[in-house]
Structure 1
Amino acid sequence: MQDKIQRPLPAFLGQGPKHLFINGRHEPARSGKTFQTINPATGKVLAEVADGGAEDIDLAVRAARRAFEGPWSKWRPAQRQASMLRLADLVDQHYDELAMLDTLDLGNPITRTMANRTRAVALLRYYAGLATSTHGETIQSSAMPHDSLTYTLKEPVGVVGAINPWNGPSGMAIWKLGPVLATGCTLVLKPAEQAPLSPLRLAELCMEAGIPEGVFNVVSGHGEAGAALAEHPGVDKIAFTGSTEVGRKIVRASAGNLKRLSMELGGKSANMVFADANMDLAVPGAAMAVFANSGQVCVAGTRLFVQRPIYDEFMERVADFAKKLRVGDPLDSETQLGPLVSAEQLDRVCGYLQVGMQEGARALTGGARLTEGPLADGFFVPPTVFVDAHDGMRIAREEIFGPVVTALPFDTIEEAIARGNDSEYGLGGGVWTRDLNTAHRVGKGLRTGTVWVNCYNVLDPAVPFGGYKMSGFGRESGNEHIQEYYETKAVMVKLDS
């Protein structure tokens, strides 16, 4: 029997309906509408949440504009840095609560959400450092007299709209908020309706950290709110993480005022295991590249290419590893895989399980949702390992966003690179080998934003992350990320002689 984590439910849950957070205070949606956020482990209601719409988005954008043009614009970089460091300390202090909200809302096991503390705090502290270290440059202009002065200024883009997915509620919110605060922009965040709780709590911590009213606004809601944010003429930039399909809609919606865009979209990442790989590392590494967060990770290594001499043995070991993963209540300390986030996502993943079998693939383990026992009321799908597959199958080409891996044998390094690149996506990729030549050839050959060698899905605040092709454009983390939130102004001064 697993031991349930003995932590009280966050007080935030017991404070009545969860309202929008606009201009420093909680407010109901102007329509008066609410929606229910569901615990995916039990199918029961967690909370009533304000269902924001276009009018609420407009109020939030106006509040963000007032803050941007008001007191916040006069804050010096060191002041912004100090407030961000206070926020980092508060996030650290209250992280148990944020992690519990994420586990209850999303279903990610509490041991995994708690383990994200280091990254959440590190992101805020990293961007706090960038607040005082980003600067323009002086240029020796060939078009001006020799005693002239030419320089550039880095100025904040303005009001940013962020639209986040549900697979990492607090972490994604912090990832969007960090560069906004560092550069002096302001933010209207539309969190996913499936997991809105921790972003609303994060907004309260921002106020406690001394960040001015209107700098960070959160409008929970559905597609109407997201569309209104993407279209709003008062928004200068949209930062979006989510599906490629929705990303296309945002591109079209942003055309009205030619918003700046950064987008991290879908993925169908190739994870390649060569015959010389250390199997003791590669087996759990390849499995958890897919099964972590129940496969609800955009960069999941769902196309598992295995060199033919070790294919059968390797896949049997991956299947054995998958069978031993503990699927269960996400509040239990030994649970390794929790539920999918919603009934809708459960239907989507189960649909792909049926498609895979209809196409001729064989499941070494898994292949159907859990319908009996104590987990039957939740949205649980055990890890599924498909073999006897080929590149043309839908399960090998389309993003499933569930704990499903499709194994594909290969022979040569050239073949692996070519097949790895034969996808509309290009978010991430992995290589497992002891040969440095192989590692570097694949690392250079794959058309993806990140390539991991003998590891997978390692994220660092200083290392840029983003996609090629239909996986989006722009980068998050690193110096490249913060530049997405600046305008560069050139100033050319002809001195009076």
Structure 2
Amino acid sequence: MEVISPIDGAVFATVGEHTVADAERALATAAAAQPAWAATAAGERGRLLHRVADLIRRDRESLAELESRNTGKLLADTRREVERAADCFTYYAGWADKVLGRTIPVPGDFHTYTERVPFGVALGIIPWNVPLFFAAKKMAPALAFGNATVVKPAPETPLTAMALRDLVIEAGIDEDLVHVVVGGREVGAALVTSPDSHLVVVTGHPDTGRAIARAAADTLTPVGLELGGKSPQLVFTDADLDAAADAISLGVFATAGQMCIAGSRLLVHEQVHEPLLERLADRVTRLRVGDPFSPDSDLGPQITSAQRDKTLSFIEGAAGEGARLVGQASLPDDPRLADGYFVPPSLFDQVHPDSTLAQEEVFGPVLGITTFRDEADAVRLANHTRFGLAAGVWTSDVGRAHAISRQLRVGNVWINTYRVLSDLVPFGGFGDSGYGRENGEDAVNLYTTTRATWTSLRAGVPTLFSQARSQ
């Protein structure tokens, strides 16, 4: 397979494409190796994951450069993402020996307890927007809790997931436990429907999530889905407009808007609409689109030509639905970037709540503004979408902030900030944004299941058994 850099549209690497037989072999190998890994002392699993984190940090610069070349993201951003990947392994290394069961005081003479046990082989399917970190986010908890792991990256961005597997093996983890399978839909379907996939955890588009959930249903394989978003940011009259404008801009234009949590629906109280619009228009027009390796660039290209074309179609179609373009950045004029997948960051006002721009996930640097009259109107507009991943609330009234937060049908709410993430905090959504939660203690529940054990404390035939026999 040819790997294309979105910076200049040129092929810069080739990788071998796996077949369905390769995918099935990877799963079978992982399934065979997993019981010994589950039997490994939890502290030893944690020690090996700490070693992976150390190796990621050792190679931080080469990994960041590879990620930027493959995705077109700013080098400053990919450096942070490499550190996040290392932190992810560090975090789950600490969790490995802290997964506890419970004793349950059931009636009768029994000692009854539960324990959390791994599923077996955890299949992780990841998108192209944050490939290294998402590979880490799937591998680290799976391994920490005793599973084997097979990761399928997007075929457009396989390189850092492959590099991460090399580091996991270098750390001393059996290569049979960790696989990266590169391929298209046929390979993905084979992975999902195989009886050797015991858990499927997906980050991706809602359509992909639906297809995977339907396929996994045939084998009754549990699925966790973190899908897309159309996240609102609500700005009230008492908000700090300068702080809001900065965070809103970063929340939708950073990484060229290719974020599931992008705050692409801006809901503004009509009384502060004009001053906030002025601030945002100024910020958008001053954004510098260019080479992600240049420190002067604020954002780079879209990751694929298809995504570039999709984003441009949203920009071109917004005016036809009544939206007004009020701010747009310039494209780079560097001839070296002429064939890159760049799109202009764009700000639209007067966006109708039912329009395509307000309802569909763009996954590009496009922000649409809609006004509201009062709190009830703001909540109604915020929930007027089939997505439910994230939201931002901007107000100096603490009571209002929490009252509004409770009414939002989303999995993540930021108050007077935005796009702050941590492995410690559960993450997931509602509706078309998926179900299940990654991160924190919720990751234990996602990557393990419960086994209950009953032991009779009476000699001879257990009491309840003898009662049942006499009946």
TM-score clears 0.5: yes
AA partner of residue 411 (structure 1): R
Which letter does structure 2 place at the counterpart of 1:443? S
Q: Secondary structure of the residue that 1:409 maps to in structure 2?
A: strand
Asked if 2 retains the 8 angstrom alpha-carbon contact of 1:72 and 1:184, the reply is yes
1:370 deviates by 6.3
CA deviations 1:195-238 (Å, max 9, x no partner) are: 11000000000111001121110011111121111111111010
Aligned to 2:193, which of 231, 244, 254?
231
Q: Deviations over 1:248-279 (max 9, x none)?
A: 10011102210010000111001111111112
Q: Distance in 2 between matches of 1:230 and 1:73?
A: 22
CA contact (8 A) 2:289 2:329 kept: no
Shift of 1:374: 4.6
Which residue in 2 is equivalent to 1:345? 307
Equivalent residues of 1:67, 1:213 under 8 A apart: no
Identity of aligned residues (%): 38
What is aligned with 2:246?
284
Gaps of 5+ in 1: 1-34
Which residue is equivalent to 2:66?
A: 101
Task: Using the TM superposition, give the Cα deviation of residue 190 of structure 1 relative to its aligned residue in structure 2, in angstroms.
Answer: 0.5
Question: Greater shift after overlay, 270-279 or 443-452?
Answer: 270-279
2:422 — aligned with what?
460
Aligned AA (1:132): D
Match of residue 191, structure 1, among 141, 149, 153: 153
Matched, 1:414 2:379: no
Given the superposition, is the C-alpha separation of residues 273 and 225 from structure 1 closer, same or farther in structure 2, using an over 3 Å criterion?
A: same
**What secondary structure is seen at the aligned counterpart in 2 of 1:188?**
strand
| Change in 2 beyond 3 A, CA 1:481/1:73 | closer
Note the 1:249-328 alignment, pairs <5 A: 249-328=211-290
Match of 1:434 in 2: 396
Structure 1 contact 83–209 (Cα < 8 Å) conserved: yes
In the alignment, which residue of structure 1 is the partner of 2:321? Answer: 359
Q: Aligned partners of 2:422, 2:162: CA distance in 1, in Å?
A: 25
Which amino acid is 1:290 matched to? V
The alpha carbon displacement at 1:117 in A equals 3.7
Classify the secondary structure of the residue corresponding to 2:76: helix
> Is the partner of 1:138 in helix, strand or coil?
coil
Q: Contact (CA 8 Å) 1:286, 1:301: kept in 2 or not? A: yes
Number of paired residues?
459
1:113 partnered with 2:75:
no
**How big is the shift at 1:369?**
6.6
Partner of 1:242: 204
Is the CA contact (8 Å cut-off) linking 1:164 and 1:191 kept in structure 2? yes
Residue 334 of structure 1 and its aligned partner are, at CA, apart by: 2.1
- Aligned equivalent of 2:48, options 83, 87, 96: 83
CA contact (8 A) 2:46 2:94 kept: yes
Deviations for 1:440-461, whole angstroms, at most 9, x for unmatched residues?
A: 0111110100000111111111
Q: Evaluate the alpha carbon distance shift between residue 368 and residue 263 of structure 1 in structure 2; reply closer, same or farther with a 3 A threshold.
A: farther
Once the two structures are superposed, what CA deviation does each residue of 1:86-137 show, in whole Å capped at 9, x if it has no partner? Answer: 1111111111111111100001100111122432222111111110111101
CA distance in 2, matches of 1:174, 1:163: 12
Q: Kindly indicate whether the alpha-carbon contact (under 8 Å) linking 1:137 and 1:152 is maintained by their aligned counterparts in 2.
A: yes
SS in 1 for 2:155: coil
In 2, the alpha carbon distance for the partners of 1:73 and 1:212 equals 12
Correspondence for 1:376: 338
> Whole-Å Cα distance in 2 between the matches of residues 413 and 333 of structure 1?
41
Letter in 1 for 2:66: L
Alpha-carbon offset, residue 371 of structure 1: 8.0
- Partner Cα distance (1:226, 1:271) in 2: 35
2:161 aligned partner, one-letter code: P
What residue number does 1:18 align with? none
Q: Which residue of 2 aligns with 1:42?
A: 8
1:158: Cα distance to partner?
0.6
Report the Cα distance in structure 2 between the residues aligned to 1:322 and 1:374, rounded to whole angstroms.
24
Q: Of 417, 431, 444, which residue of structure 2 is paired with 1:469?
A: 431
The answer to whether structure 1 residue 53 and structure 2 residue 19 are counterparts is yes
SS in 1 for 2:362: coil
Deviation at 1:74, TM superposition (A): 2.4
Distance 1:367 1:292, change over 3 A: closer
> 2 CA distance for matches of 1:67 and 1:319?
56
